[in-house]
Structures are given as C-alpha cells and as structure tokens.
Chain A
Amino acid sequence: MDAFVFYISGVLSVVAAALVVTRKNPVHGTIYLVLFFLLVSLDYLILRAPFLAIIQVLVYAGAILVLFLFVIMLLNLSEEELRESTSTTRKGFAGILSAGLFGLLSWGILRSPTVRNMGDLAAPVTSPTLAKAGETEAIGQALFTTHALAFEFSSILILVAILGAIYLTKKRKQTSSAPSQTSLTGLESQEEAGQKHAPADGARLEKRLA
C-alpha cells in the first residue's frame, strides 16, 4: 500500500514540479506548487512522520504559498509583462546547471550503501522508539532539550526579519537634512534600477570574460 501511494504521489509530484516551472502565468505556477507540497506531505506520511506532514500542509501549502498568491495578485501584472521571456542562452545555462545538480544528487543517492540496504520500507516497525520517532512528542522532546538553544535562537532570526521588513517598508516623516525620502517599495526600485542603472565596468568586463 505504501509503495503504491509513493509511486502515484511521486509521479504526480514530478509532473506538478515540471508544471510550476513551465507555466507562463505565475498564479498557475503557484497553484501547482501548492499541489506539489501537498504530494510531498504524503511522502512524510509514508515515512511515518505525521508531524512533518501536517506542518508541510499548514505552513508551506497553507501559509507561505497563499501569501505568494496574494503578492502575485496584488502586483497585478499586465499581459505584456507576462509575455516577457528570458533569453534562450540564459535558459540553457540554467538548464545545464540544474542538470549538473541533478546528476550530482542522483550519483550520490544511487551509489549510497544506506539507500541500497534500506530494505522494505513497508515492513512493520518493531522497535517502539522508532515507531514514535516521527511523532509530535518525540520532536517536542528533542526541541526543548537537545536543541533548546536553536529553538530559542530562532526567535532572534524572526525578530531580525521583522525588523528588516518594517524598516524597509515603513514611511518616514520628512526630516530637514534628509533628501526626499519617498517610500519606495522594493519592487518599484528593483524595476527602476534594472532599467536606468547602467551596468558598471566590472559587470561588463565579466560578461566579456565569460
């Protein structure tokens, strides 16, 4: 049964991932990404990690990607902007790099003795600790004992992220000595920078060298 579910979800997730990168419309791409994350959560269930499966659905498919969808919809891209395509050389370069990464990872996984001697995943688990390892209780134990520092420190990570987001987007009152501090949203400035800022010497030379 496990193998059956795995193969179905595996094939579907590869299809979904391919659709994410090939769709022109970013909204469609994101929806396929949601599908992909849901299918991956099935894999966690097969590996008896129910906590991770739930987190995958709640956090990734639920929260993060819905946020993605909102942002894309708020951007409200026009037809022309959607039709813009990247150059074929760039696509080829990205393709070669991804193929290289894929080759490296599949070499490692196919040669790995651990993976070869894995045995039947569907066999019932005998050890009681192993059977509980993926459950919320075991993860909670590890988080609050062995990984207490990492757990606490992640609050600093979130604090820094919030601080940065607020600082970069907040409107500031105009002060006398400061120049016009118009609040640029990151995306406007990115577009303007791309159009008006001429590539500097180094970038040009790099292109020539490449």
Chain B
Amino acid sequence: MQNLPAILLESSPVSLNPVTSTDLLAILPVLILLGTGAVVLVMDLFQSVPAGEGETRKPVLHFLSILGAVIAGAQICGALAAPDTGATSFFRDALRIDKFSLAMSLLIVLGAAFSLLGAADTLRRRGLEHGEFHALILFSAASMILFTQSASLIMAFLSLETLSMSVYVLTAYTREEKRSNEGALKYFILGSLSTGFLLLGLVFIYGATRSTNLVEIEAALRGGGANLDSPLLLCGLALTLIGLSFKIGAFPFHSWLPDAYEGALSIVTGFMAVTVKVASFAVLLRLALLFGSTPSAGTIGAELHASLTAALSTLAVLTMVFGNVVALVQRSLKRMLAYSAIAHTGYLLVGVITAMEAKRSGLAAGTGAGQAVLFYLFPYALMTLGAFTCMSYLGRGTEDCESLESYRGLGRQQPVLALGILLLMISFAGIPPTAGFWGKLLIFRQAIDTGHWGLALTGIVTSVVSVYYYLSVVVNMYMQPGGENEPLSTEPRTCGKLAILLTVGAVAIVGLLPDTFFRLSMAYSLR
C-alpha cells in the first residue's frame, strides 16, 4: 500500500484560495479568448438575417471575434517583450509560463486571427455564417495556449482533448457535404483512439515517476534513484509518443490527415494545419527535452535518450519520405498540401531530435534548445495560413475548384491571387531566399552539427523532390493554356485581401530578414 497516488497525498497547507489574482492575470489571454467566444455565441442569437445578396450579413461576429484574438495577441506580445524572468508556475504548478510557451501561444493566436479574417468571405459565400464557427476557433485557440503552457500531465490531457474536440467539429462544419462528414468521422475515430494511447501513456509515466507534474518528474529523473521505474517509463513514453504522433500526423499515424484536410473548409484546414501542429510540437519538444536530455544519476538518462532518438528518427525519416513521395502523385491541390503538411512534420521532427542532442551535449547551455523548431514554425504557420486562405477563393458558390488542371489560366484571371500562391509555393519548396528556405537550412544545419548526417541527407533529398510538386501548381497557373472552362474563382473582399496580403507580406519579410527572426527565436527558445 506504499505506492498509492502521490496526487492524493500532497499534504500541502490548504489555503482557502486555490486561485489567486496573479494566476488569473497570467492566463488573461486565454480568458479573453474564452470570453469572446462566449459573447460571439450569444450575439449570434440576436442577429437577424437580411436577405440582401452579396453583403456580409453578420459583420459583428467577424469583427468581435477578430478583435478578441487581436487583444489576446497583444497581451501575449506584451508578456513576450517583458524582461525574461525564467519560467513561472501558476495555479499550483498546473501551468508553467516561459518565453517559449508565450512564443508558441502567439503563433496560435496569430493562426486563429488570420483564420477568422480569411473566413468571412467563405462563410458568407457558403451561407454558413454561424456564431459556432467563431466560438469554436476561439475556444480551441484558448485550449491550445493552455496545452503549450501546461506543466501538469492532467492539464495537458484536458486541454488536448478540448482542442481536438473543437477541431473535430470544425472539420465537419459543412454539414451537408459528404466529404466533410467522412473526413471528420475518420479524424474523430482515429483521434479518440490516439487519445486512448496518450492517456494510457501519461498514466504509465505517472506510475513510473509518481507525479503528474513536469517539474517533479524532472527532479525524479535527475535523482534517477528508487523513485524511478524505467520499464514503466519507457512503456509510457512509447504510448505518449504514439498519441502525439497521431496529432502531428507522423507517418504510420497519418491516415486521418489527408481526408480531414480535404473534407474541411479550406480556412479550417489552414487553421488546423497551423495551430494543432504548433501546439503539439510545443508539447512534444518540451517532453522530448525533459525525458531525452535530463542528466540523471543512473543509466536511465542515457537509455531514455537513446530510445527516444531512435524512435523519433525512424518517425522523421518515414514521414519525410512518405509525405513527399505521395504528394507527387496528387491531382488535387488540397490533398497535395495535406501530404506536404505530413512532410513538414518530418522536417520538424528532425528539429526536435537535434534540440534533444544539443541540450544533452551541452551545446545549448547558453542559448537554449529548440530554436530551429521555433524558427521553422513561424514562417510555416504564415505560409500555410496564406495558402489555404488563397485556396478558399478558388471556387464559386459551394463548388470547389481543386484539381491541378482546373487552375489553368488563373494567372490571367486573378493575377493578385495567383501571385500570392506563387510566392507561397516557392517558399514552401524552400527555394532561396524565401522564409521556407531559411527554416529548412537551420534545421538541416543543426542536424549536421549534432552528427545526424542521415537525417539531414534524407531531408535535403526529399525537399528537392518536393520542388516538383510545388512548382507544378505554378506551371499550371501561368504556363498552361487555359481550357474552354475558365477556372472557378471568387474575388477576395477586403477582409480576405488583408489576410492574404499580411501573410504573404510577412513570409516575404521573414525571407528577406532572416537574421532578426533567428535572433528572436534564439531569445524565445526552450531553456
């Protein structure tokens, strides 16, 4: 009976106030997002629907929700700009906020704000302007922020579940479309399965370290002594890794991803591809560094490092090769981008492995680890948001224009839209001097520095392969003669133009000024 849950035994002095005002101030951005979501949901009930064609019928919803996201983003920016005081715990160690988690939160809020901005036109065109959309985006962004900041396994699990639940519903948002229902159902079933794996994994980690708190788990790892149960810990890590691999869409666990990405509205696909990936990678990186690079008293540290590196490397190689090869044969742009999202997961996994290696060998002592992942994720988020926002204008009414051939002649018909897609595709392919190029360069450079030649080589070869399919979009837009059918497209309105302009512009700026952003990602890396 000596091994009863430590959770229930903590005999900390019970204060009458489990929540203090400092705690609440720390999660102010989350509260703003949740509050805006609730307000938007209620506002929707009082919106009348005038019959006027072509007018945004519920401008208040868009305005309010974007405003909420922008205020939350400003809050996070303020916290980022404040002097670095290290990680601070809130809510009795349930949350741990540091510069890294704030930077990741900023990316998430950015993703939500751009998705809301770009969504106005699509929702109006499809007749789908409901408050639920905005509320779900805001709620999921709030839970993603908590996910990246959580320092307790319980909080991590709860917030992951909330964010997944909102994304399942968003995938099925176009209810009358079979494709969307199919994708959402696959996502839901496989997602629930992965949640089961993850929960079992977390329970095993708890059993092995006797704590659900990451700080205490780190102490147990450092001690390496009697309080650590290595077989249980390895089991738990394996299961947790499987669970997280489902969420990031790494190779053997990716099967839901193409269908869900294809079935959802383009805007929702962009939102999922960016924010779910950012949040999951933030937690994956934190866990990988915690378990794979904490110096421990016994042999457990080396053992964990070796097995985590082996598992992640296998995943990374398989994911890079599979994603890029299958993307080559896609006939639909949306599906092609879905497979390329899998490929980018592979590159990011290489970044996680190198961060682990750098931290363990002491390379990261002064600079922190994981700056490559951060530096890659920022332009990746912008490119993906931009690409899917552009895609949401390819189509008319409820009809989508998706096969690569149907873009022939788009360069003449919609020069601005086509130029945006051109820039984003070049950046995705990693052709210098674009943002995508610098991100890949940093990741492969670090892989070589830490001795992972195989990973760097696979990455370089597969990104050369990827140039083919990204550029085939451009070839179809500009160089193929248009058929008798003009490509279906809709003219972006103010909101949409702003979203495309901002994302494409930001991608261009990151491409031209990589130094500034590299310095920022160094400052916000995980210590």
Chain A residues close to B by CB (< 8 Å): 48, 104-105, 107-109, 111-114, 118-119, 121, 123, 125, 129-130, 133-134, 138-139, 141-142, 144-150, 153-154, 156-157, 159-161, 163-164, 167-168, 175-184, 186, 189-190, 192-194, 196-197, 200-203, 205-206, 209
Residue ID in chain B nearest A118 by CB atoms: B3
Interface residues of B in 360-418 (CB under 8 A from A): 397-398
Query: Quick one: which of B7, B234, B239 contacts A142, CB cutoff 8 A?
Result: B7
Q: Are B18 and A156 in contact (CB under 8 A)?
A: no
1/0 per residue, CB under 8 A from A, across B6-23: the answer is 011111101100110001
Q: Are B95 and A149 in contact (CB under 8 A)?
A: yes
Q: What is the number of residues of chain B that contact chain A, defined by CB distance less than 8 Å?
A: 84
Known: A150-B94, A153-B143. 9 other contacts (CB 8 A): A109-B231, A130-B9, A148-B92, A148-B94, A178-B128, A189-B181, A193-B182, A194-B182, A209-B326
Q: Are A175 and B127 in contact (CB under 8 A)?
A: yes
Q: Are A145 and B12 in contact (CB under 8 A)?
A: yes
B91 at the binding interface (Cβ < 8 Å) = yes
B488 at the binding interface (Cβ < 8 Å) = no
Complex Cα distance, B330 from A108, in Å, reads: 42
Residue ID in chain B nearest A122 by CB atoms: B1
Residue among A109, A149, A150, A157 with most chain B CB within 10 A:
A149
Residue ID in chain B nearest A159 by CB atoms: B139
B519 at the binding interface (Cβ < 8 Å) = no
Q: Are A133 and B8 in contact (CB under 8 A)?
A: yes
Residue among B1, B126, B178, B229 with most chain A CB within 10 A:
B1
Would you give the shortest CB distance from A51 to chain B, in whole angstroms? 10
Query: Quick one: which of B18, B142, B168, B231 contacts A112, CB cutoff 8 A?
Result: B231
Chain A neighbourhood of B159, CB < 8 A: 153
Q: Are B335 and A201 in contact (CB under 8 A)?
A: yes
Q: Are B1 and A178 in contact (CB under 8 A)?
A: no
Chain A neighbourhood of B178, CB < 8 A: 189, 192-193, 196-197
Known: A146-B12, A202-B335, A205-B326. A157 touches B158 (CB 8 A): yes
Query: 26 interchain pairs (CB within 8 A)?
Result: A108-B204, A108-B232, A108-B235, A119-B2, A133-B9, A141-B14, A142-B8, A145-B12, A145-B18, A146-B18, A149-B95, A153-B143, A153-B146, A157-B162, A160-B165, A163-B132, A167-B130, A175-B127, A178-B127, A179-B127, A193-B185, A200-B259, A200-B262, A201-B332, A201-B335, A202-B338
B484 at the binding interface (Cβ < 8 Å) = no
Chain A neighbourhood of B12, CB < 8 A: 145-146
Q: Are A164 and B204 in contact (CB under 8 A)?
A: no
Would you give the shortest CB distance from A127 to chain B, in whole angstroms? 8
Chain B neighbourhood of A189, CB < 8 A: 178, 181-182
Would you give the shortest CB distance from B71 to chain A, in whole angstroms? 19
Number of A-B contacts (CB under 8 A): 193
Q: Are A193 and B158 in contact (CB under 8 A)?
A: no
Residue ID in chain A nearest B210 by CB atoms: A114
Query: Quick one: which of B94, B136, B173 contacts A147, CB cutoff 8 A?
Result: B94
B80 at the binding interface (Cβ < 8 Å) = no
B119 at the binding interface (Cβ < 8 Å) = no
B258 at the binding interface (Cβ < 8 Å) = yes
Residue among B8, B143, B330, B332 with most chain A CB within 10 A:
B8
Residue ID in chain B nearest A202 by CB atoms: B258
Query: Quick one: which of B5, B139, B154 contacts A160, CB cutoff 8 A?
Result: B139
B493 at the binding interface (Cβ < 8 Å) = no
Chain A neighbourhood of B175, CB < 8 A: 167-168, 181, 183-184
Q: Are B339 and A202 in contact (CB under 8 A)?
A: yes
Chain B neighbourhood of A159, CB < 8 A: 139
Known: A121-B1, A141-B14, A175-B49. A161 touches B165 (CB 8 A): yes
Chain B neighbourhood of A202, CB < 8 A: 258, 326, 329-330, 335, 338-339
Q: Are B4 and A133 in contact (CB under 8 A)?
A: yes
Would you give the shortest CB distance from A177 to chain B, in whole angstroms? 4
Q: Are B172 and A168 in contact (CB under 8 A)?
A: yes
Question: Which 6 residue pairs spanning A and B have beta carbons closest together?
Answer: A178-B127, A108-B235, A164-B169, A193-B182, A111-B231, A189-B181
Would you give the shortest CB distance from A210 to chain B, in whole angstroms? 10
Chain B neighbourhood of A119, CB < 8 A: 2
Q: Are B7 and A160 in contact (CB under 8 A)?
A: no
Q: Are A149 and B94 in contact (CB under 8 A)?
A: yes
Known: A179-B176, A202-B326. A156 touches B139 (CB 8 A): yes
